[in-house]
Amino acid sequence: MTKLSVNINKVATIRNARGGNTPDVLKFAQDCERFGAQGITVHPRPDERHIRYSDALAIKPLIGVEYNIEGNPKGISKSKPYGFIDLVKEIRPAQVTLVPDAEGVLTSNAGWDTVKNQQYLCDVVKEFKGCGIRVSIFIDANPQMIEMAAKTGTDRVELYTESYASQYAAGREAAIAPFVEAAKVARDCGLGLNAGHDLSLENLTYFHQQIPWLDEVSIGHALISDALYLGIEETIHRYLHCLA
């Protein structure tokens, strides 16, 4: 079964817009679990413009589902005396997803170049796995990059699905083709497979039908946007239906 991990960054964005604690990010994480989500994802960035390092720490003891922390291992918090690696090692989530975010980017916009960053990724993967944390590398649908990712010792790769989502309306068969190929390469390399970025109620079912061996999808922006109209409980149920 493909698990649904809800990325709650956007909830923190709304809270931070006014200060205070409305909406309550911690309660929202618990509610997502209560309504059927099989995972919670957060992506703390150094500027803490949405999820804060303190949020990431506070969520761990409150949930029983898988906890996935995304981010650039080179990131250093502007409010805490430690960086992303220190944060993840302290929390010890079920999974860490390595994302090559440049400082100041609006959202994740590329996967790792696993050729240029091979030794660095090997070192980071080894450090996290030594703490018993499953590692996933955020990556484009590029067979060579996936093959080189496998050489780092990572457990999984997460396919960056923005191009699939943006091309879906023009022709879903063409949009999915490189992702099916990439998914097969990952499977042949013995890697687990995650996917995320701009997946939605419109395009998720077809993506899952074509790559049914997906381990997990991580969805935030579209899911939280849908919840404004449908409510979070109904929204989670609809996303789970897409993965049924």
Does the pTM surpass 0.85? The reply is: yes
Given 33, 66, 70, 158, the catalytic residue: 70
CA pair distance 154, 150, nearest whole angstrom: 6
Q: Which range, of 72-81, 91-100, 140-149, averages the lowest pLDDT? A: 72-81
* 181 counts as catalytic: no
Taking only the tens place, the pLDDT of each residue in 51-81 is 999 999 999 999 999 999 999 998 776 666 6
Instruction: Flag the least confident range among 34-48, 105-119, 186-200, 203-217.
Output: 105-119
Q: Which of 33, 43, 50, 216 is catalytic?
A: 43
Residue 241 a catalytic site member: no
CA gap 54, 103 in Å, rounded = 19
Provide mean pLDDT across the span 44-54.
91
Confidence band for 113, pLDDT divided at 50, 70 and 90: very high
Annotated catalytic, 43? yes
Of 48, 158, 197, 216, the active-site residue reads: 197
CB 180 within 8 Å of CB 161: no
Residue 108 predicted with pLDDT over 70: no
Q: How many CA atoms lie within 13 A of 43 on its CB side?
A: 27
pLDDT at 107 over 70: no
- Contact criterion met (CB below 8 Å) for 23 and 14: yes
